[in-house]
């Protein structure tokens, strides 16, 4: 009986070694933060980060769901022409808002919190802190306040003067995306498989609507069947609140074990086939490489936190507007006039 135990231990050692080898071999290009700097506002708006933290704390206290909603905004902003605050722009005569995209309409929320933060920052240091940087800071602070890792947020992004509804619909994976599609969409942003698995670990907090996973419960392959990669007891539990029709908006935790705590239970759930969304469970069922990462993060929360922080910094550096490009919006919902 000792031999299988030894194999398991050796496997974990090899996985950790490979993880650190891969991390150390990342190119400078992948980890570069260009002209961004954690000290960007130290002189021009020294209270900026404290102001953002205070509003995040208040929003989370008022509504624990808000943490995941605010975190999601940064993802959905960065995947569309870079981290430039374009997601925050409302519809206007010249702008088709990204808020109307398939992945955002009736689900993206927290815009009022961003408005309040921006208003406070404008009072403190007018036209200095960008809306894009607010999203980056908020993503870090919501992670920390729910128990996750912290990291230095590189700052100095400027705000876009335009949005792209088309790119928003094309660039962001949806719950029905295949594993290959998700990998491609992350690769298109300069994010590799390690980044993908770690960043999807952000689904350790947050909720999804019944309509987003109903097909897994009742008609997965078009033959009135359940998804066989979904734990059947878990599926029966979900069916109690997500009937075959109706109740589309009923909410379910992405991590049913610790729904409001940022931890590694997301990965543990995938390993027992209790990932709520198909686009999550396929990390464990469709690729040996991603499966090994799921196992690694499920067994070692510290490694998950370490990589999540690195990948968040990397994602936050996707095509930022700097220098004279873009602008510093006075109001995040509209361009300056």
DSSP alpha helix (H) spans, 188-231: 193-200, 210-218
Residue 243 counted as an annotated binding residue: no
State whether residue 208 is helix, strand or coil: strand
Residue 225 counted as an annotated binding residue: no
Question: What is the 3 state secondary structure string of 275-336?
Answer: CCCHHHHHHHHCCHHHHHHHHHHHHCHHHHHHHHHHHHHHHCCCCCECCCCCECCCECCECC
Q: Which residues contact 203 (CB under 8 A, 6 or more apart)?
A: 254, 255, 266, 277, 280
Q: How many CA atoms lie within 13 A of 67 on its CB side?
A: 24
Residue 192 counted as an annotated binding residue: no
DSSP alpha helix (H) spans, 25-145: 28-31, 48-62, 66-78, 111-124, 131-145
Question: Among residues 60, 74, 76, 337, which one is catalytic?
Answer: 76
Phi-psi region of 106 (alpha: psi -120 to 50; beta: other; left: phi over 0): left
Residue 77 counted as an annotated binding residue: yes
* Interatomic CA distance for residues 171 and 335, integer angstroms: 23
Residue 98 counted as an annotated binding residue: yes
- 76 in catalytic set: yes
* Interatomic CA distance for residues 127 and 113, integer angstroms: 18
Query: What six digits make up the tokens of 260?
Result: 């409001």
Residue 263 counted as an annotated binding residue: yes
Beta bridge partners of 331: 334
Nearest to 155 by CA among 140, 167, 172, 145: 140
Residue 64 counted as an annotated binding residue: no
State whether residue 159 is helix, strand or coil: strand
Which CA distances in Å does 96 have to 88, 89, 92, 108, 285?
11, 9, 7, 16, 37
What is the total residue count of the chain?
337
Binding residues for Ca(2+), by number, are 77, 80, 82, 84, 86, 98, 204, 255, 258, 263
Binding residues, by number, are 77, 80, 82, 84, 86, 98, 173, 203-204, 255, 258, 263
Binding residues for heme b, by number, are 203
Binding residues for substrate, by number, are 173
Q: Which residues are catalytic?
A: 76
């Amino acid at each position: 009986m000792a031999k299988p135990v030894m194999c398991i231990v050796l496997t974990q050692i090899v996985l950790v070694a490979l993880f650190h080898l891969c991390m150390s071999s990342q190119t400078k290009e992948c980890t570069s933060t260009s002209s961004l700097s954690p000290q960007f506002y130290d002189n021009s708006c020294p209270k900026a980060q404290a102001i953002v933290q205070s509003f995040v704390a208040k929003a989370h206290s008022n509504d624990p769901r808000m943490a995941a909603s605010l975190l999601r905004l940064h993802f959905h902003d960065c995947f569309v022409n870079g981290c430039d605050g374009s997601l925050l722009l409302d519809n206007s005569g010249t702008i088709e808002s990204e808020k109307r995209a398939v992945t955002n309409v009736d689900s993206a929320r927290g815009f009022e919190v961003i408005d309040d933060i921006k208003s406070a920052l404008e009072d403190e240091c007018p036209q200095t802190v960008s809306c894009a940087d607010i999203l980056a800071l908020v993503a870090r602070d919501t992670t920390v306040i729910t128990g996750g890792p912290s990291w230095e947020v590189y700052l100095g992004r400027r705000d876009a003067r335009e949005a792209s509804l088309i790119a928003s619909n094309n660039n962001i994976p949806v719950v029905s995306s295949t594993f290959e599609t998700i990998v491609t969409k992350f690769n298109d942003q300069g994010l590799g498989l390690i980044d993908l698995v770690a960043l999807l670990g952000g689904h350790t907090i947050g909720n999804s609507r019944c309509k987003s996973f109903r097909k897994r419960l009742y008609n997965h392959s078009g033959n009135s069947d359940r998804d066989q990669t979904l734990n059947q007891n878990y599926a029966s539990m979900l069916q109690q609140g997500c009937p075959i029709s109706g109740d589309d908006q009923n909410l379910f935790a992405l991590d049913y074990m610790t729904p409001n705590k940022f931890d590694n239970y997301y990965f543990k759930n995938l390993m027992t086939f209790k990932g709520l969304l198909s686009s999550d469970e396929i990390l464990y069922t469709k690729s040996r490489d991603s499966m090994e990462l799921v196992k690694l993060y499920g067994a070692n929360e510290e490694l998950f936190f370490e990589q999540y922080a690195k990948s968040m910094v990397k994602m936050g550096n996707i095509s930022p507007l700097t220098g004279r490009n873009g602008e510093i919006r006075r109001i995040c919902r509209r361009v300056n006039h």
